[in-house]
Structure 1
Amino acid sequence: MLELRGVTAGYGRTIVLDDVSVVVPTGDAVAVMGHNGAGKTTLLRVAVGLLPVRAGTVLLDGEDVTRLRPNARVRRGLGYVPQGQQCFPQMTTMENLQLITTSKAEIRGVLDTFPALTELLSRRAGLLSGGQRQQLAIARTLLTQPRMLILDEPTEGIQPNVVQEIEQVILGLTQRGDLSVLLVEQHVGFALRSTGSYYVLESGRITAQGEGGAGALDSVRAAMAV
């Protein structure tokens, strides 16, 4: 479980998050939605440890990790896929995966999750499509065997068929029961279909929250229209 409790954070004199609380239960997926500038990526940077809090607490599986560095949080089971389909472009798909592990069984496991990558193992990552690079970024993070997976705008700039594949991956991962997902996303339909609950973040504050699913679409759109 990941919990951000009463978090206030920002840059310089600017407060971006003001007393924000978000809970991601064990084995569940939670979406944080909002317009550009709402503070979504800042929230993730706090969760990962890339940005210190000015007030509040970050808990991972009940342990206070507020003062821990990002690498220490990773060792405790946190995995982070930042925005932008990040990879090492001059390396092949396989080489990108082998940066995390040389275990053939573990690599085979993530290729089962993203079978489209199997035909691309010898191709340089920089030559992959945006959707393929996003799948590679998520696969590489899954090789760290996280218990808490954080995804920042995973559908940005990728083709619709890959969006659907990533949606199915998120659902499949959480159905295992041992992995939680925190998803920041502007694609409202995708976010609600992929998660069990949601938060709407606007101007650094939580303005709405509830259960996910298609039935929440109108409520979320109304909250984001304010």
Structure 2
Amino acid sequence: MLELRNVTAGYGRTMVLNDVSIDIPQGGAAAIMGHNGAGKTTLLRVAVGLIPVKSGQVLLDGVDVTKLRPNGRVRRGLGYVPQGQLCFPQMTTLENLQLVSRVKSEVDEVLDTFPALAGLLPRRAGLLSGGQRQQLAIARTLLTKPRMLILDEPTEGIQPNVVAEIEQVIVGLSQRGDLSVLLVEQHVGFALRMTDKYYVLESGRVTSSGAGGAGAEGAVRAAMAV
């Protein structure tokens, strides 16, 4: 589904990623982990097309999209939820969703996925809690009907009870079989519970990788402790 082959990329003359390769198959779920500054967000931004590569390739369904702009990648099935619970704060919850789709059945479908939003449709998005805004950000991206959902720190700054709700949704999405998930997450246990593959980044390089699941937590923590 999504593959980065030997990607080197960064900002100006500063390279943040160095010869990075990852592979997320159709219907698969992978977590990118590492300390702050390891290059995790840069990797996602390269995948989406927000940062050009100096060398290497980005492939989507086996097609080289390295030079394709972000909107072209969205049309090919990429959905990106960046850090920060982004929304349009002066618009209502419903208006935020309708920016993507005004088809009632489609909006109803994402509200079924995030039922907490159903009672918040008239409320300005800027008045929602951090967890509610994060659910709104994911719901809005799902309205684009992605086949690959890319999430950057979806639990950052969110209360534990809402984290559990978001985890349940992501697990459900990844188990559908028609949606791949690429996740950057600081909480190791959370990330491994919902993914079947992990990669650890250190100083812009993949230093460890393997099968996900709760049994991999020790190996991941050991890799991150180096």
**TM-score for both structures, normalised by structure 1:** 0.99
Per the TM alignment, residue 162 of structure 1 is displaced from its structure 2 partner at its CA by 1.2
Match of residue 189 from structure 2: 189
Match of residue 151 from structure 1: 151
Per the TM alignment, residue 15 of structure 1 is displaced from its structure 2 partner at its CA by 1.1
Match of 2:178, SS state, is coil
Match of residue 99 from structure 1: 99
Equivalent-residue separation in structure 1 for 2:103 and 2:142 (angstroms) = 13
Equivalent-residue separation in structure 2 for 1:213 and 1:76 (angstroms) = 29
Q: What percent identity do the matched residue pairs reach?
A: 81
After superposition, residues 1-226 of structure 1 pair within 5 angstroms as: 1-226=1-226
**Size of the alignment, in residue pairs?**
226
Equivalent-residue separation in structure 2 for 1:16 and 1:50 (angstroms) = 14
Equivalent-residue separation in structure 2 for 1:194 and 1:129 (angstroms) = 24
Per the TM alignment, residue 165 of structure 1 is displaced from its structure 2 partner at its CA by 1.1
Residues 196-220 of structure 1 deviation map (CA, whole Å, 9 limit, x = unaligned):
1100001000010111111111110
Equivalent-residue separation in structure 2 for 1:222 and 1:90 (angstroms) = 45
Equivalent-residue separation in structure 1 for 2:165 and 2:22 (angstroms) = 26
Letter of the 1:121 counterpart: L
Q: CA RMSD in A?
A: 0.6
Letter of the 2:47 counterpart: A
Letter of the 1:28 counterpart: G
Match of 1:84, SS state, is coil
Per the TM alignment, residue 176 of structure 1 is displaced from its structure 2 partner at its CA by 1.1
Per the TM alignment, residue 9 of structure 1 is displaced from its structure 2 partner at its CA by 0.3
Per the TM alignment, residue 13 of structure 1 is displaced from its structure 2 partner at its CA by 1.5
Match of 1:122, SS state, is coil
Match of 1:21, SS state, is strand
Per the TM alignment, residue 161 of structure 1 is displaced from its structure 2 partner at its CA by 1.1
Per the TM alignment, residue 174 of structure 1 is displaced from its structure 2 partner at its CA by 1.5
Per the TM alignment, residue 36 of structure 1 is displaced from its structure 2 partner at its CA by 0.4
Equivalent-residue separation in structure 2 for 1:72 and 1:16 (angstroms) = 24
Deviates more, 1:166-175 or 1:143-152: 166-175
**TM-score for both structures, normalised by structure 2:** 0.99
Equivalent-residue separation in structure 2 for 1:37 and 1:54 (angstroms) = 19
Runs of 4 or more, structure 1, over 6 Å off, are none
Per the TM alignment, residue 171 of structure 1 is displaced from its structure 2 partner at its CA by 1.2
Per the TM alignment, residue 130 of structure 1 is displaced from its structure 2 partner at its CA by 0.3
Equivalent-residue separation in structure 2 for 1:204 and 1:149 (angstroms) = 22
Letter of the 2:185 counterpart: E
